[in-house]
Amino acid sequence: MNQPSRVRPLLPEGEERNFTLQADYFVGQIDLKAFCATHTHHPILGTNPLVLEPQKGSYVFLSRFGGVVFWNCPEPLIRQVHEELKSLPGLNQLEEQTRDFLKVKIGAAEDSVGFSEVQLQAFTLEKLRIVSLTLAQSVALDHFEGAVSQAMSRFQPVVRALSQEGKLVLPHREVLQIVGFALEVRAAVLNNLTLFDDPPETWESESLAHLDSALYGQFDLAERLGAIREKLGYLHDAGATFLGLLDTRKSRKLEWIIILLIFVELVLFIWKDLLPSGFLHAR
Is the pTM higher than 0.75? yes
For residue 89, the one-letter residue type is P
The string of pLDDT tens digits covering residues 213-272 is 999 999 998 898 888 888 888 877 877 777 777 666 665 565 566 667 676 666 666 766
Instruction: Give 203's contacts (C-beta < 8 A, 6+ positions apart).
Output: 1, 209
- Asked whether residue 274 carries a pLDDT value surpassing 70, the answer given is no
What value does the mean pLDDT take over residues 28-49? 90
With 80 as the cut, is the pLDDT of residue 188 above it? Answer: no
**What is the model's pLDDT at position 266?**
65
Quick one: pLDDT band at residue 4, thresholds 50, 70, 90? very low
pLDDT digits over 59-100, tens only? 999 998 899 999 999 999 999 999 999 999 877 789 888 999
**For residue 170, what pLDDT is reported?**
65
For the chain, list the domains and their CATH numbers: 17-123 (3.30.310), 141-254 (no CATH)
Secondary structure of 133-161 as H, E, C letters: HHHHHHHHHHHHHHHHHHHHHHHHHHHHH
Q: How far is CA 47 from CA 50, 130, 188, in A?
A: 4, 13, 24
Comparing 11-20, 124-133, 135-144, the range with the smallest average pLDDT is: 11-20
Contact between 36 and 100 under an 8 Å Cβ cutoff? The reply is no
Which pLDDT band holds residue 2 (cuts at 50, 70, 90)? Answer: very low
Instruction: Supply φ then ψ for residue 154, to 5 degrees.
Output: -75, -25
pLDDT above 70 as % of the chain: 80
Using a pLDDT cut of 90, give the percent of the chain over it.
39
Stretch 167-193: mean pLDDT? 73
For residues 235 and 93, give the distance between their C-alpha atoms in angstroms, rounded to a whole number.
Answer: 25
pLDDT of residue 190: 74
- CA angle 59/29/47 to nearest 5° reads 40
